[in-house]
């Protein structure tokens, strides 16, 4: 923070957390500030490089090291001082490393330095669970272990004590499509089990409501069980939280934290959207949609748009009264936030907003339990006050705790990212948003290595389920606050599950999943010949066949191609054969495009 302040940079433009993340990534890849500056492709990266250099200077002045330096300086010491390396090799005669698939190159070098004298090294890891490449983890560390230690003995632990055989086979079928793996065949004594259930919703809202309804149904018959909703990115959580709230499923802590965030920053449109009609105050979906559209048109924040709407009286009197009451209430909270301790402010928000009355009006044990959860939040605020923290410190601390760290094993329902779910298990798991460009993520579509990491992430998510696994997707989804709904394509991971392991409950009817069709299509030569054969006619199509012998068969699922307008993309679906075939191609930045092969003028990359 001091470095950014010294550089006169606004934290809203360049946050300390983002800069520290970039510095950590650079250090773990052996890069210095000059390297980052030379590689910079925009002014923002140049500023990060300058901040990196200033940060290093201040560390040296303070005779201090950060967390990454503890590793880097240790490796540097062992590399450059043989007596120290010798002494530590003699001291640590046996070395064991857990989660070896998540080690980065610096950690790898440290392990090599500590085991030069006596290679009594035992590592435990699973290459199929290497999902932290974006943090610097290098899967090659585990894949190349036998090359580094030729005398190593490999012991495969293939018995699984968590999931049913059907879930293991489905997950194994997905990850088996990866090239960068050693391979294994998981088995369990829990044979059989329920099929994996696929639900394809018409839109994202319906997907979320389906999940909430399944949760309620499951908890009625399994009240002591826990379950998880896993998603690829955090922005997906809002719809599921709203659906759960509508179905009286816990989300109260995030609601109250959103109120507190608005007290510090009324321009936080994400937090504002969350509590604008929570508890219900007569501001419905139509009003919210209109406000969002007006905000886009006028390039305003949602808060400023509400102020404008109230002052200019652009809604009906009833809606204006609701919006005005909300604005006045929030302005009161914003004022109190500067005067009152955190716990008192929180208690006032709970009372003045009507949130507690809303929960009390439910008249259920669940409502009482949720009020108790809020009181625990007040207690946490008091603890924060005892540590001398202000409201910003309290919210920063809440944000820094990842959903994995904050995971409460006593909670019945957990919503978290797939990355955060690693190491956990639940009787029931939903993996949502299985669409090309979302999961796998759009950033991965042009890199085979990143696609394989996304596939490992899917494998990790699927194997969190003990008894039952749901996979869901939306056929239409609105991205990045866009106005229109975009058609989506099913994730390739769905197609990689054998049809005998999956059932679909889309449209309310259970049926086997329709997998990508690989037989002859309606316009293939085989189908034409069969058409005439059924009518007692024999047709010689050999001349036609000769006309397509030079057909380029290389354009298939997974092939990268270049288009004159959309750039490089990847083929994710092929329909038909030859020049008349239809190709669905994912172009980063442009989305999914359907093209007729003979007119597309595609060049294989």
The domain limits of the chain are 1-64, 76-155, 196-226+409-505, 247-401, 559-604
Buried b (16+ CB within 10 A) or exposed e, 556-567: eeebebebeebe
Predicted confidence at residue 546, as pLDDT, reads 38
CATH of domain 247-401: 1.10.486.10
Give which of 327, 260, 267 is closest to 302, Cα–Cα.
267
Q: How many CA atoms lie within 13 A of 340 on its CB side?
A: 18
Predicted confidence at residue 588, as pLDDT, reads 61
Contact 586, 437 (CB under 8 A): yes
Q: What are phi and psi of 312, to 5 degrees?
A: -90, -5
Please state the pTM of the whole predicted model: 0.62
Query: What's the average model confidence in pLDDT over 6-19?
Result: 79
Contact 303, 272 (CB under 8 A): yes
Q: Mark residue 567 as left, alpha or beta (left: phi above 0; alpha: psi -120 to 50; beta: remaining).
A: left
Query: What's the average model confidence in pLDDT over 452-470?
Result: 96
Question: Sign of dihedral through CA atoms 161, 162, 165, 171?
Answer: negative
Predicted confidence at residue 480, as pLDDT, reads 53
Same fold, 196-226+409-505 and 247-401: no
Classified as helix, coil or strand, 510 is coil
Predicted confidence at residue 67, as pLDDT, reads 86
Confidence of residue 520 (pLDDT cuts 50, 70, 90): very low
pLDDT, tens only, 277-290:
999 999 988 899 89
Confidence of residue 553 (pLDDT cuts 50, 70, 90): low
Q: Which residues contact 74 (CB under 8 A, 6 or more apart)?
A: 110
Query: What's the average model confidence in pLDDT over 71-90?
Result: 93
Predicted confidence at residue 510, as pLDDT, reads 35
Query: What's the average model confidence in pLDDT over 427-452?
Result: 91
Predicted confidence at residue 337, as pLDDT, reads 93
pLDDT, tens only, 387-418:
788 998 888 776 544 344 444 555 678 889 99
Query: What's the average model confidence in pLDDT over 541-562?
Result: 55
Predicted confidence at residue 118, as pLDDT, reads 84
pLDDT, tens only, 139-164:
999 999 999 898 899 999 999 999 99
Burial class (CB in 10 A: 0-12, 13-18, 19+), 295: buried
For 76-155, which CATH superfamily applies? P-loop containing nucleotide triphosphate hydrolases (3.40.50.300)
Residue 342 has pLDDT above 80, yes or no: yes
Q: What does pLDDT average to over the chain? A: 83
Secondary-structure class of domain 196-226+409-505 per CATH: alpha beta
Which CATH number does the domain 1-64 belong to among 1.10.10, 3.30.460, 1.10.1750, 3.40.50? 1.10.10
Residue 508 has pLDDT above 70, yes or no: no
According to DSSP, residue 236 is labeled G
Predicted confidence at residue 409, as pLDDT, reads 52
Give which of 96, 65, 91 is closest to 78, Cα–Cα.
91
pLDDT, tens only, 13-33:
778 888 888 898 888 877 889
Predicted confidence at residue 63, as pLDDT, reads 81
Report residue 242 as tokens: 């709203």
Burial class (CB in 10 A: 0-12, 13-18, 19+), 505: middle
Secondary element (H or E) of residue 46: helix 43-61
Predicted confidence at residue 407, as pLDDT, reads 47
Predicted confidence at residue 408, as pLDDT, reads 52
Enumerate the H helices of 498-589 as residue ranges: 525-534, 542-546
pLDDT, tens only, 108-134:
999 999 998 888 999 999 999 999 988
Q: How is the chain split among helix, strand and coil, in percent rounded to 5?
A: 50, 15, 35
In whole angstroms, what separates CA 365 from the centre of its chain? Answer: 33
């Amino acid at each position: 923070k001091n470095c950014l302040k010294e550089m006169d940079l606004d934290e809203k433009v360049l946050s300390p957390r983002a800069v520290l993340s970039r510095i950590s990534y650079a250090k773990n890849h052996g890069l210095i500030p000059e390297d980052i500056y030379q590689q910079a492709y925009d002014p923002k990266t140049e500023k990060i490089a300058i901040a990196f250099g200033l940060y290093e200077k201040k560390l040296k002045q303070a005779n201090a090291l950060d967390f990454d330096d503890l590793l880097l300086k240790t490796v540097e010491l062992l590399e450059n001082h043989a007596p120290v390396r010798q002494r530590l090799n003699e001291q640590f005669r046996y070395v064991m490393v857990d989660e070896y698939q998540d080690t980065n190159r610096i950690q790898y070098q440290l392990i090599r330095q500590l085991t030069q004298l006596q290679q009594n090294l035992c590592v435990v890891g699973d290459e199929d669970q290497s999902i932290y490449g974006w943090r610097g983890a290098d899967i090659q560390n585990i894949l190349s272990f036998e090359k580094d230690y030729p005398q190593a003995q490999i012991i495969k632990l293939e018995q699984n004590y968590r999931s049913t055989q059907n879930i293991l086979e489905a997950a194994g079928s997905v990850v088996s499509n990866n090239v960068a793996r050693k391979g294994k065949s998981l088995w369990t004594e829990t044979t059989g089990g329920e099929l994996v259930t696929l639900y394809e919703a018409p839109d994202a809202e319906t997907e979320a409501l389906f999940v909430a309804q399944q949760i309620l149904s499951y908890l009625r018959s399994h009240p002591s069980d826990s379950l998880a909703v896993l998603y690829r990115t955090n922005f997906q959580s809002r719809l599921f939280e709203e659906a759960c709230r509508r179905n009286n499923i816990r989300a109260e802590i995030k609601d109250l934290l959103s109120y507190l965030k608005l007290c510090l920053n009324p321009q936080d449109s994400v937090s504002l959207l969350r509590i604008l009609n929570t508890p219900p105050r007569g501001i419905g979906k139509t009003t919210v949609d209109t406000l969002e559209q007006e905000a886009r048109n006028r390039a305003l924040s949602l808060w400023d748009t509400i102020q404008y709407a109230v002052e200019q009286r652009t809604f009906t009197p009833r809606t204006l009264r609701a919006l005005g009451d909300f604005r006045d209430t929030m302005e009161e909270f914003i004022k109190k936030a500067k005067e009152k301790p955190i716990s008192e402010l929180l208690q006032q928000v709970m009372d003045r907003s009507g949130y507690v009355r809303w929960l009390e009006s439910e008249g259920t044990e669940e409502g009482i339990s949720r009020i108790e959860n809020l009181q625990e939040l007040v207690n946490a605020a008091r603890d924060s006050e005892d540590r001398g923290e202000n409201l910003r410190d309290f919210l920063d601390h809440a944000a820094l705790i990842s959903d994995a760290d904050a995971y409460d094993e006593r909670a019945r329902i957990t919503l978290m990212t797939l990355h955060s779910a690693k190491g956990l298990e639940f009787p029931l798991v939903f993996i949502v948003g299985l669409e090309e460009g979302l999961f796998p993520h759009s950033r991965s579509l042009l890199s085979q290595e990143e696609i394989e990491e996304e596939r490992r992430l899917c494998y990790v998510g699927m194997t969190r389920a003990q008894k039952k696994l749901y996979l869901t997707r939306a056929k239409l989804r609105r991205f990045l606050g866009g106005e229109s709904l975009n058609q989506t394509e099913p994730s390739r991971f769905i197609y990689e599950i054998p049809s005998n392991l999956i059932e679909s409950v889309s449209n309310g009817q259970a049926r086997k999943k329709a997998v990508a069709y690989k037989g002859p299509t309606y316009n293939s030569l085989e189908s034409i010949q069969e058409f005439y054969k059924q009518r007692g006619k024999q047709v010689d199509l050999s001349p036609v066949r000769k006309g397509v012998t030079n057909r380029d068969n290389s354009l298939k699922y997974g092939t990268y191609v270049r288009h004159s307008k959309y750039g490089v993309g990847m083929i994710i679906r092929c329909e038909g054969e030859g020049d008349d075939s239809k190709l669905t191609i994912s172009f980063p930045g442009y989305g999914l495009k359907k093209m007729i092969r003979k007119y597309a003028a595609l060049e294989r990359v």
